[in-house]
Amino acid sequence: MLRSSQPLPGPNRRRCREDEALLGAILDEGERGFIIDTRSAQAAKQARMTGGGTESKSSYPQWRRLHRPLERGRPLQESFVRLVDACSDPSLSMDRWLGRLESSRWLSHVKAALSTACLAAQCMDREQCSVLVHGAEGTDTTLLVTALAQLILDPSCRTLLGFQGLLQREWIEAGHPFHVRCTHSAYSHARLKQEAPLFLLFLDCVWQLSRQFPFSLQFGERLLLTLFDNAYASAYGTFLCNNEKERSLCKVKENTHSLWAWLSQPEEQQKFLNPLYSHNALVIWPSVEPQSIQLWQGLFLRWIRPSKHLDEAWAEIQQLVEKN
Amino acid sequence: MEHIRMPKVENVRLLDRLSSRKAVLGTLYLTATHVIFVENGSETRKETWVLHSQISSIEKQATTATGCPLLIRCKNFQVIQLVIPQERDCHDVYISLIRLARPVKYEELYCFSFNPKLDKEEREQGWKLVDLTEEYNRMGVPNNYWQICDVNRDYGVCDSYPTEVYVPKSATAHIIVGSSKFRSRRRFPALSYYCKDNNASICRSSQPLSGFSARCLEDEQMLQAIRKANPGSDFIYVVDTRPKLNAMANRAAGKGYENEDNYSNIKFQFIGIENIHVMRNSLQKMLEVCELKSPSMSDFLWGLENSGWLKHIKAIMDAGIFIAKAVAEEGVSVLVHCSDGWDRTAQVCSVASLLLDPYYRTMKGFMVLIEKDWVSFGHKFNHRYGNLDGDPKEISPVIDQFIECVWQLMEQFPCAFEFNERFLIHIQHHIYSCQFGNFLCNSQKERRELKIQERTYSLWAQLWKNRADYLNPLYRSDRSQTQGTLHPQIAPCNFLYKFWSGMYNRFEKGLHPRQSVTDYLMAVKEETQQLEEELEVLGERLANLQKSQLGDNKVKSKQQDRSKQLGLSTSNNSLANTPQEYSNDLKSFPSRSPSQGDEEDSALILTQDNLKSSDPDLSANSDQESGVEDLSCRSPSGGGCLPSEDSGKDSDEAVFLAG
């Protein structure tokens, strides 16, 4: 699986031999590959006008392009804000709740993200084809898809350390601009141009996986909530800046502590482990039917709904397993 | 058998709900009690059994090139799509099923032929498992304030009530009879739940026949008596569970509700729960959403909201919460009624009791609760769930809603219930299955006339026998949420109500988490217990050995054996699942060998044992988490077993719905 940003044929349909050679080198003679473009066909076409575009069939004959539009940017932030509003609206009656939930479209985005990741995984696992994923910039929905696909395919990404490695690789080092994406979250009135909860969407998808496969992830909801918190505001330098270059310029490694280091301390690590975990060497294929995708109550209702009873239940589960 | 035109049809295809490519070829059989589809060829010969009682509707669809499709919808939400090659055969099957699914006599029902091979005494014992007199005693009645009343001993006062009801001490026979004449269907106020801590009670009745201005001294005295039976409060609540408009409309028909001016010391309260027709339509709409082919999130959520289903569930829950609060926190007695006092009243009283008393959250207690508030108080099972062919307007998912309220509570309070989701699903299944006699007819009187207890078996005994399958591993009686009253969050709480896919998409395995946490934890618990016991035994041995100073070789070898026993490992091939159809775009590419995909398909199809074996087994389905299905424990003649809807079967692949 590969990721990149969009090619730049532009309005004149330029070609680039090196790019074509690079993609050609990945596939053997006669082999086919898939390109998953996270923009709609329309949007991708329009991108040509501003210098971007897509891989044309004639230039990249071995690659088949699939479009799976995933929401990003301002609309995604709006979706997030609307969802949080719906959850915390005390006057909302039951007969309008689901409509409000739906009109935020958040769950639709979760479904779309999971579906696309599953598609990428399916191409690799079932079709045995290579996959190239890109959107426009290659820093948002692209990473969402590649990271999720790896969780689905690769059991080593589902361990605590493996997951941290996945985050480090596919989000942090790959250059997801955390600094501009995770600034004010949902309550702020300032609608910043660059703000968008892609990382939260990713965490939500991971939570859906953990719900559908309760034994297959070595970590639990608590880790996901902690990551969410730290992406926005953190005592650690892990999520600072927008890319490796900036981190190097700011000397992040020299001046801050790493979140992973803190997490790897045994007392801390214990809290984040899933007591039900048992290594599952197989691919996990989630159901993306609407009934299977649920609202992540632990995050969106975190401060609204008392978690006492559920915490008790988890403590009980922990106890049962430990006793054994 | 005379209704069966065609007992056997060959070359029938059973379709996967959404993917018509995944069809299984087999033979269809019609028996007096079941429709059975047996898969051709494969070694396992998977069978799908459907009881006629479960059939809700049959739809014959337009003939296509492949054959004549027949869609069977069941009351337990299973949907079976068959394709029968010959149109004439299809028509015969259709006509037969229509008749078979609409019995006219009770004797046609399965419970009269079901034979679990128990002797007469065991059958009797089964019926005695739940004893209401014992239950009332447990509550603390009869006592200084409450007495047993046998004025209805020959059903002379109210034929839908049981022979024994509990009434306030100060309610004489005269008052009771008088009050019954002033109540719809003569269902006078009677005790449902008594709280011995503060003497507050929940009583139930039907609506008064007050019209616009009628009064009845005895009825007013009856309510006074209820109030007096609780010295801790100087008033009672009267809760009418209908929407105000409906109740007012009833006045024009000479019925209505209690006027606070006429009844001294009552506080009247409407809690609007819609009627059976609205609920029937609501369920219908929700099931239509479930049948959508590859719905978007939007389709699903809008569809669910339009059905109004969760709103109704919440309304019932809110009513129960109100009553529980009145009793537990205010110490005030409550009289609950709706129109006839056998639908919404039953729902609301049982939800309130469940919230108030932890006993009803145990397995036995729950059975007792249903027996008390639903069975004994004359909930019209026959009319509501269509045991026999009847008026379709009487059909309504009343008890289904109650069962769902319990599930919603279980989701909010995971440690509070001794039983698990499977218990609820099996109970719902059997309310419609008519395999046992508990939920037949419309009243205790009818059941006694039919001699149900002598001629059929009790579901409670069956469930109790298999209670290990129904336990909630997180239940511990010393947990905070297990004791005392449950306090569900009141507002905001809309988000707490979830769509119960375990019930309404029960047979769509692809939808559910493949690994059952409940089963795993139960196995863990069991193993721990076994290990502890073994440890004890070993400890004793060691002590003995040490005394006699022998070598410890024997001890070591024992320890090695146990690790194989329970096979708790979840990480084996039983976890493999197939991807959904995430995209149509992949079809044109060469894919892997198709045979791999086919083996992996498992079931919408329910598994039961081979027809040939003849000893029925009462054991309800036992799930396994180690992935090995033990077919031998299933009942072959469709006896006591239930379809294995959540088995992580050895062929292990979930059938996903087309994406």
Catalogue the long-range contacts made by B582-586 (C-beta closer than 8 Å, 24 or more residues apart). B582/A115, B582/A118, B582/A119, B582/A122, B582/A288, B582/B659, B583/A66, B583/A115, B583/A119, B583/A122, B583/B659, B585/A64, B585/A66, B586/A119, B586/A122, B586/A123, B586/A126, B586/A127
DSSP letters along B84-129, please? ES-HHHHHHHHHHHHHHTS-SSGGGSGGGT------HHHHHHHHHT
Q: How far apart (Å, rounded) are the C-alpha atoms in residues B15 and B604? A: 9
Work out the minimum CA distance from B602 to partner chain A, whole angstroms: 15
Amino acid identity of B373? D
Q: Of chain A residues 57-96, which have a CB less than 8 A from chain B?
A: 64, 66, 87-90, 92-96
Query: What is residue B562's predicted lDDT score, i.e. its pLDDT?
Result: 40
Work out the minimum CA distance from B311 to partner chain A, whole angstroms: 6
**In the predicted structure, residue B440 carries a pLDDT above the cut 60:** yes
Nearest CA in chain B to A294: B498
Task: Confirm whether residue B19 is marked as ligand binding.
Answer: no
Q: Which of A102, A119, A318 to mutate to test the interface with B (most CBs of B within 10 A)?
A: A102
Query: What is residue B583's predicted lDDT score, i.e. its pLDDT?
Result: 66
Structural domain count, chain A: 1
Region A64-69: what's the mean pLDDT? 93
Region B591-614: what's the mean pLDDT? 27
Pairing of strands B334-337, B236-240: parallel
Query: What is residue B569's predicted lDDT score, i.e. its pLDDT?
Result: 44
**In the predicted structure, residue A308 carries a pLDDT above the cut 90:** no
All residues of chain A having their beta carbon less than 8 Å from the beta carbon of residue B582 are: 115, 118-119, 122, 288
DSSP letters along B344-407, please? HHHHHHHHHHHHH-GGGGSHHHHHHHHIIIIIITT--HHHHHTSSS--GGG---HHHHHHHHHH
Query: What is residue B575's predicted lDDT score, i.e. its pLDDT?
Result: 53
CB neighbour burial string for B283-293, b if at least 16 within 10 angstroms, e if fewer: bebbbebbeee
CB neighbour burial string for B259-274, b if at least 16 within 10 angstroms, e if fewer: eeebbeebeebbbbbb
A255 within some domain: yes
Q: What would the two tokens of residue B311 be?
A: 């709103």
The answer to which of B465-479, B508-522, B615-629, B630-644 has the lowest mean pLDDT is: B615-629
All residues of chain A having their beta carbon less than 8 Å from the beta carbon of residue B511 are: 287, 289, 291-292
Q: Which of B286, B287, B301 to mutate to test the interface with A (most CBs of A within 10 A)?
A: B301
**In the predicted structure, residue B162 carries a pLDDT above the cut 80:** yes
**In the predicted structure, residue B2 carries a pLDDT above the cut 80:** no
Average pLDDT in chain A = 91
Residue B153 contacts by C-beta under 8 Å, 6 or more apart in sequence? B163, B164
Region B303-313: what's the mean pLDDT? 95
A249 within some domain: yes
Most confidently modeled range among A74-83, B95-104, B397-406, B614-623: B397-406
Q: What would the two tokens of residue B352 be?
A: 């309130």
Task: Confirm whether residue B427 is marked as ligand binding.
Answer: no
CA B93 to chain centre: 30
**pLDDT band at residue B158, thresholds of 50, 70 and 90?**
very high
Query: What is residue A323's predicted lDDT score, i.e. its pLDDT?
Result: 82
Query: Per the CB < 8 Å rule, is A320 touching B298?
Result: no
Query: What is residue B496's predicted lDDT score, i.e. its pLDDT?
Result: 85
Query: What is residue B74's predicted lDDT score, i.e. its pLDDT?
Result: 93
CA B391 to chain centre: 22
Query: What is residue B185's predicted lDDT score, i.e. its pLDDT?
Result: 96
Query: Per the CB < 8 Å rule, is A127 touching B412?
Result: no
Query: Per the CB < 8 Å rule, is A324 touching B528?
Result: yes
Q: What would the two tokens of residue B141 be?
A: 């009645």
Task: Confirm whether residue B276 is marked as ligand binding.
Answer: yes
Q: Are B226 and B194 in contact (CB under 8 A)?
A: no
Query: What is residue B641's predicted lDDT score, i.e. its pLDDT?
Result: 36
What backbone torsions phi and psi does residue B352 show, to the nearest 5 degrees? -60, -45
Provide the 8-state DSSP code for A157.
G
The answer to which of A304-308, B24-28, B161-165 has the lowest mean pLDDT is: A304-308
Query: Per the CB < 8 Å rule, is B497 touching A94?
Result: yes
A254 within some domain: yes
Query: What is residue B600's predicted lDDT score, i.e. its pLDDT?
Result: 26
Task: Confirm whether residue B339 is marked as ligand binding.
Answer: yes
Cα A315 to Cα A276, B474, B476, B516: the distances in Å are 12, 9, 12, 18
Question: What is B8-102's CATH number, 3.90.470.10, 1.10.1740.10, 2.30.29.30, 3.90.180.10?
Answer: 2.30.29.30
Query: What is residue B567's predicted lDDT score, i.e. its pLDDT?
Result: 42
Q: How far apart (Å, rounded) are the C-alpha atoms in residues B518 and B473? A: 6
Q: How far apart (Å, rounded) are the C-alpha atoms in residues B373 and B392? A: 24
A205 within some domain: yes
Query: What is residue B577's predicted lDDT score, i.e. its pLDDT?
Result: 75
Amino acid identity of B282? S
Q: How far apart (Å, rounded) are the C-alpha atoms in residues A34 and A30? A: 13
| pLDDT tens digits, one per residue of A282-292 | 999 999 999 99
| pLDDT tens digits, one per residue of A234-279 | 889 899 889 999 999 998 889 899 999 999 899 889 889 999 999 9
Torsion angle defined by CA atoms of residues A11, A17, A21 and A23, in that order, rounded to the nearest 10 degrees: -10
Q: Of chain B residues 481-520, which have a CB less than 8 A from chain A?
A: 481, 489, 491-499, 501, 505, 510-511, 513-515, 517, 520
- Which one of B481, B528, B590 has the shortest CB-CB distance to A309? B481
What is the percentage of chain B residues whose pLDDT exceeds 70? 83
**In the predicted structure, residue B318 carries a pLDDT above the cut 80:** yes
Work out the minimum CA distance from A33 to partner chain B, whole angstroms: 10
All residues of chain B having their beta carbon less than 8 Å from the beta carbon of residue A115 are: 582-583, 659
Q: Is B535 touching A (CB cutoff 8 A)?
A: no
- Which one of A94, A278, A290 has the shortest CB-CB distance to B494? A94
**pLDDT band at residue B601, thresholds of 50, 70 and 90?**
very low
CA angle, residues B561, B562, B563, in degrees to nearest 5: 100
**In the predicted structure, residue B560 carries a pLDDT above the cut 50:** no
Q: What would the two tokens of residue B432 be?
A: 């419609």
Query: What is residue B576's predicted lDDT score, i.e. its pLDDT?
Result: 64
A14 within some domain: no
Place of tokens 């997180």: B474
Average pLDDT in chain B = 82
**In the predicted structure, residue B621 carries a pLDDT above the cut 70:** no
**In the predicted structure, residue B609 carries a pLDDT above the cut 50:** no
How many beta-carbon contacts under 8 Å exist across A and B? Answer: 194
Please report the ipTM that was assigned to this predicted complex. Answer: 0.92
Q: Check residues B345 and B33 and name the one with the higher pLDDT.
A: B345
Query: Per the CB < 8 Å rule, is A102 touching B302?
Result: yes
The answer to which of A108-117, B195-204, B468-477 has the lowest mean pLDDT is: B468-477
Query: Per the CB < 8 Å rule, is A285 touching B295?
Result: no
CB neighbour burial string for B326-364, b if at least 16 within 10 angstroms, e if fewer: bbbeeebbbbbbbbbbbbbbbbbbbbbbbbbbbbbbbbb
The answer to which of A201-205, A259-263, B332-336, B380-384 has the lowest mean pLDDT is: A259-263
Q: Check residues A59 and B595 and name the one with the higher pLDDT.
A: A59
**In the predicted structure, residue B481 carries a pLDDT above the cut 80:** no
A4 within some domain: no
Work out the minimum CA distance from B492 to partner chain A, whole angstroms: 5
The answer to which of A81-85, B78-82, B219-223, B574-578 has the lowest mean pLDDT is: B574-578
CA distance from start to end of chain B: 42
Maximal C-alpha separation, chain B: 93
- Give the residue numbers of B annotated as catalytic, written as ranges: 338
Q: How far apart (Å, rounded) are the C-alpha atoms in residues B519 and B647? A: 10
Work out the minimum CA distance from B309 to partner chain A, whole angstroms: 9
Q: Which of B357, B362, B348 is nearest to B328 (CA)?
A: B357
**pLDDT band at residue B54, thresholds of 50, 70 and 90?**
very high
**pLDDT band at residue B607, thresholds of 50, 70 and 90?**
very low
Query: Per the CB < 8 Å rule, is B528 touching A212?
Result: no
All residues of chain A having their beta carbon less than 8 Å from the beta carbon of residue B409 are: none
Q: How far apart (Å, rounded) are the C-alpha atoms in residues B313 and B315? A: 5
All residues of chain B having their beta carbon less than 8 Å from the beta carbon of residue A211 are: 513
Query: What is residue B42's predicted lDDT score, i.e. its pLDDT?
Result: 66
Three-class secondary structure of residue A154 per DSSP? coil
What is the percentage of chain B residues whose pLDDT exceeds 90? 62
Q: Are B468 and B440 in contact (CB under 8 A)?
A: no
Cite the residue boundaries of each domain of chain B with CATH code 2.30.29.30: 8-102
User: Cis before residue B492, ω within 30 degrees of 0?
Assistant: yes
Query: What is residue B550's predicted lDDT score, i.e. its pLDDT?
Result: 55
Task: Confirm whether residue B206 is marked as ligand binding.
Answer: no
Q: How far apart (Å, rounded) are the C-alpha atoms in residues B110 and B574? A: 35
Provide the 8-state DSSP code for B604.
S
Q: How far apart (Å, rounded) are the C-alpha atoms in residues B148 and B146? A: 7
Task: Confirm whether residue B92 is marked as ligand binding.
Answer: no
**pLDDT band at residue B586, thresholds of 50, 70 and 90?**
low
**In the predicted structure, residue B650 carries a pLDDT above the cut 90:** no
A206 within some domain: yes
Three-class secondary structure of residue B46 per DSSP? coil
What is the percentage of chain A residues whose pLDDT exceeds 90? 60
**In the predicted structure, residue B625 carries a pLDDT above the cut 60:** no
Query: What is residue B627's predicted lDDT score, i.e. its pLDDT?
Result: 27
Q: Are B58 and B52 in contact (CB under 8 A)?
A: no
Region B12-30: what's the mean pLDDT? 80
Region B417-444: what's the mean pLDDT? 95
Work out the minimum CA distance from A81 to partner chain B, whole angstroms: 17
Query: Per the CB < 8 Å rule, is A291 touching B579?
Result: no
Amino acid identity of A41? A
Tell me which H or E stretch contains B337. strand B334-337
Query: Per the CB < 8 Å rule, is A88 touching B492?
Result: yes
Query: Per the CB < 8 Å rule, is B570 touching A122?
Result: no
A12 within some domain: no
Q: How far apart (Å, rounded) are the C-alpha atoms in residues B317 and B490? A: 10
Q: Are A143 and A134 in contact (CB under 8 A)?
A: no
Amino acid identity of A177? P
Cα B88 to Cα A60, B31, B95, B346: the distances in Å are 55, 19, 11, 46
Query: Per the CB < 8 Å rule, is B511 touching A297?
Result: no
CA distance from start to end of chain A: 40
Task: Quote the domain boundaries for residue A148.
Answer: 72-323
Pairing of strands B201-205, B190-194: antiparallel
**In the predicted structure, residue B654 carries a pLDDT above the cut 60:** no
Q: pTM for the complete prediction?
A: 0.87
